[in-house]
Amino acid sequence: MNLHHTDKISQWEKTDPNDWNFFQKIAARTNGVVTPGNVISLAGLALVMSGIREIDRGKTLRGISKVGVGRICDVLDGMAAEVTKTKSPLGEAIDAVIDKIEVAMAYPVLKNQGLVPEPILRKFRNQQLGNAGLTAIAKIRKLEIHPQKEGKLSMAELWVSTGLYCLSKAIEETEPVVSEILDTTANEVAASSIELGNKATYGYLFDACGVKETVNKIYAT
């Protein structure tokens, strides 16, 4: 899995300017704002926002399709940053913030439409709020913190289960048997997402408390 992991220095800053590729030159000139990864991340956000609006208007299948493509961008942005060697602290932050924005926008729509079981939806919400809070604490304490593999996998499964729940609701009257299978699968994926999310929360807690930083200092001495 390609994550926007980087240290405090952007990739192009570690390279001689004479050796910069086309994308690194643009990134350097725009202070890391214009990079392939950031463009893909923002395109994904736009698609997810549009899909959520479609779902809110009752056009569930069309909305699911847009959200699905938008979430694929969450995989492609990291790949693009890796291939073009344009990973940066700004790109990492944009990727993480977009994840939180999308979940925050989806929650009230999914709740109002009754598309996802409320206990599961509540667990998703609480996990995201907790992780966001721990990240904020780490930032305030000026501690290094990065998105974790478990967190990204949990987020991916969150959206997969959400899509399955929405699809189940969309066809429950015409295809009740298939709808029931989708619900069962969605429950299993949601449970896995919550478990992975809990592991990610423990990791963020360690980062926010400075445990990882302390351990690294011990091993460095």
Co-location of 67 and 134 in the same domain: no
122-146 per-position pLDDT tens digit? 999 998 888 888 888 887 888 777 7
Question: Domain end: 53, 73, 88, which one?
Answer: 88
Q: Is 172 left (phi over 0), alpha (psi -120 to 50) or beta?
A: alpha
Answer yes or no: is pLDDT of 7 > 50.
Answer: yes
Instruction: Check if the beta carbon of residue 1 is closer than 8 Å to that of residue 152.
Output: yes
What pTM did the predictor assign?
A: 0.83
pLDDT in the model for residue 214? 52
Rounded distance, CA 148 to CA 3, Å? 8
Give me the mean pLDDT over the 107-135 stretch: 90
Structural domain for 185, as ranges: 114-221
Domain count, the chain: 2
Residue 101 lies in a domain: no
Residue 49 lies in a domain: yes
Rounded distance, CA 128 to CA 59, Å? 26
Co-location of 165 and 202 in the same domain: yes
- Residue 6: which pLDDT band, with cuts at 50, 70 and 90? low
Give me the mean pLDDT over the 33-50 stretch: 96
pLDDT in the model for residue 220? 45
| Tokens 């609006």 found at | 53
Rounded distance, CA 79 to CA 29, Å? 22
Rounded distance, CA 42 to CA 21, Å? 22
Residue 67 lies in a domain: yes
H helix or E strand, kind and range, residue 35: none
Co-location of 131 and 218 in the same domain: yes
Give me the mean pLDDT over the 23-27 stretch: 96
Co-location of 69 and 134 in the same domain: no
3-state DSSP assignment of residue 115 = coil
